[in-house]
Amino acid sequence: MRKKLVAGNWKMHGGIEQNNSLLNKVVAGTLGADKATYAVCVPYPYLSQVSSLLKDTHISWGAQNISQHVKGAFTGEVSAIMLNDFFCHYVIVGHSERRTLYGEDSKIVSHKFKAALENSLIPILCVGESLDQREAGLTEEIVGEQLDAVIELVGVEALEHAVLAYEPIWAIGTGRTATPQQAQDIHSFIRNRVASHNTQIATKIQILYGGSVKANNATELFVMPDIDGGLIGGASLLPDEFISICMAANN
């Protein structure tokens, strides 16, 4: 039985005061939830604040990106090992905003994934197609390629310490979520793809759905057999919404 995971992706949002108030509410509002786990992936400057706020709670934390390099002359970059100083549990890699706005291709993403694993971080690997690609019937080809690039570099066994997230680009921040069946179809495709290499890992791996998950659609998504929780953008900044989504995963 896979446990569900709800991870907030704050993107480039937050502030000292705001984080304090949001996290105190989320901690209090999700107490007693034992069937699911929760995390927030926050901007780098707040990792210190968030690690001290959450350290004795049931909520874990992480970052939204890392460098594929260990250290060196890479102005503006942050390495996986630096995240260890803030006791990060997770790091998102290959979010579609990184792929489309910052030119991260599947090769770069797979090296970031590897860097995360080598430093005891759990990568949350995002995969997903654009609207044009979906309409052209290319969803499985695109998602398959994004997944294969990682498996090719690190081997399928490495997925034992990773989380996958299916995030159709057309559903991110648009209010247009995939229907539970549309999401389930691709989740099942992803699980089968992993199973073609290793069935045990395929059975165990958590596959999150992301893209306009809200309190009012979380339950119908989370009951689907291959949806193991969510990666939540906008709604993770609103305490009541995020708490409701977390509770929907705790059923």
Q: Which residues bind ligand PGA (CB under 6 A)?
A: 9, 167, 172-173, 210-213, 231-235
Query: How many residues are recorded in the chain?
Result: 251
- Catalytic hit among 97, 104, 129, 167: 167
Task: Compute the distance between CA of residue 148 and CA of residue 232 in angstroms, rounded to an integer.
Answer: 24
Considering beta carbons, is residue 211 or 226 the nearer one to ligand PGA?
211
The answer to whether 58 is a known catalytic residue is: no
Task: Compute the distance between CA of residue 149 and CA of residue 195 in angstroms, rounded to an integer.
Answer: 16
Considering beta carbons, is residue 14 or 234 the nearer one to ligand PGA?
234
| Minimal distance, residue 236 CB to ligand PGA, in Å | 7
| Minimal distance, residue 39 CB to ligand PGA, in Å | 12
Considering beta carbons, is residue 50 or 124 the nearer one to ligand PGA?
124
| Minimal distance, residue 6 CB to ligand PGA, in Å | 11
Considering beta carbons, is residue 156 or 221 the nearer one to ligand PGA?
221
| Minimal distance, residue 49 CB to ligand PGA, in Å | 21
Q: Which residue is nearest to ligand PGA (CB)?
A: 233
Residues labelled as active-site residues? 95, 167
